[in-house]
Each structure stands twice: as structure tokens, then as C-alpha cells.
Amino acid sequence: MCDPEKEDVVRAAVREFPDFPTPGVLFRDITPVLKDPAVFRTVIDLFEVHVRANYTKVDLIAGLDSRGFLFGPALAQRINVGFIMIRKKGKLPGLTESVSYSLEYGKAELEIQRDAVDPGQKVILIDDLLATGGTMSAACELLTRRGAEILDCLVLIELLSLRGADKLKPHRTHSLLAYD
């Protein structure tokens, strides 16, 4: 992020909860970001500035279940593109494709509807947080299988010590806040 004042506003609204949901995990809670409309607007402003500065053509924003759904539709509206959902397995009707992945605290499966994206469409992924990168990497795998072109992976928070951005390479990542 290249706007330190806005970064401070957003950072001040992220809370920490040690040992949640399991011992040893320091949970970064974004609830206050959503509760304050000015902070939430700042977050969407910052994502919008990044997207407009870096991409002339975006076809879709893809949000990751579940907290990517909080930011994705607002950003998609701002830049006037559609929003698609990448969901935890078993939530989407119709023909789907799925992939399993590991989490900082468990295992899960992600799923996409087969008609969510057309081959060649330019997609930006979004989630609240990048930890190990397992979730984002699984979402990239699903979109790549469907023939999408992945432009970028956006997150509000990146946990640098877990090296998620390295796992995602060669895909690009962009975070608004980074924590050691």
C-alpha cells in the first residue's frame, strides 16, 4: 500500500485474538473494518486504486468463500465488472469442479461452477487474508483449469512469515496490510 495514512486507518481496525481457532494461531479479526463504513470504504478505495493503476481490462472479480465475499462484490461494483464465487465444497448447484487444499489450521475443498468463467477471461481474485496461500493457490488452480487468465490475487492482510506469496508464484499478489 502506498498511502500510509489510509494504511493506518485500516490497520487500526484489525484486531488480534491469540489462540483462535486453535492454540498457536494469532487470529486477525477484520470485523471492525466492516463495522465502520468509512474504514470499509477506505479498503475498497485502496483496492480500486491498485486495480485501476495496474490493469486496463478486467473481466471478473472472483471472491473466496467466505470472507472474500465481503470485499469482492463491492470492488466489482466499483470497477463495473461481474463477481463470481469460489466456494467451499458442496455449496454450489449445477456442474462444478473442485480441488482440495491445506489450511493454516486444517484441510478443506474449494469448488467453482463450470460456467462461472469463460476461457481467456481476465480474473482478479480477492480474499480477506493470505496465510499459507493454500486457499488462494487452490482457487488459482480452479480458475486456471477453467481457462481463465489470472491477473492478480488481492488480500486485505498478508501474513509474511507464512510465505503465501511465494507459494502463489508466478501469480501476482497484492496486500493492503502486511504483518510479520
By the rule CB under 6 A, 28 interacts with ligand ADE? yes
By the rule CB under 6 A, 110 interacts with ligand PRP? no
Whether residue 97 lies in the annotated active site: no
The single residue of 28, 67, 163, 172 carrying the catalytic annotation is: 67
Give how far Cα 147 sits from Cα of 43, 84, 113, 122, 123, Å. Answer: 29, 15, 13, 10, 10
- Give CA–CA dist 28/42, Å, rounded: 18
- Give CA–CA dist 44/94, Å, rounded: 31
Of 100 and 115, which has the nearer Cβ to ligand PRP?
100
Q: Which does 25 bind (CB under 5 to 8 A by kind): ligand PRP, ligand ADE, none?
A: ligand ADE
Of 29 and 118, which has the nearer Cβ to ligand PRP?
29
Question: Which residues, in sequence order, are bridge partners of residue 110?
Answer: 88, 99
Whether residue 104 lies in the annotated active site: yes
Residue 68 DSSP one-character state: H
Interface stretch with ligand ADE, choices 21-29, 47-55, 74-82, 90-98 (CB under 6 A): 21-29
DSSP 148-178: PEEEEEEEEEEEGGGTHHHHHTTS-EEEEEE
Q: Which does 172 bind (CB under 5 to 8 A by kind): ligand PRP, ligand ADE, none?
A: none
Q: Which of 1, 3, 7, 25 binds ligand ADE (CB under 6 A)?
A: 25
Q: Which of 42, 125, 126, 128 binds ligand PRP (CB under 6 A)?
A: 128
Locus of grid cell 506469496: 165
- Give CA–CA dist 153/13, Å, rounded: 22
Q: Rule CB under 6 A: which of 76-135 touch ligand ADE? A: 104, 129, 131
* Catalytic residue set: 67, 104
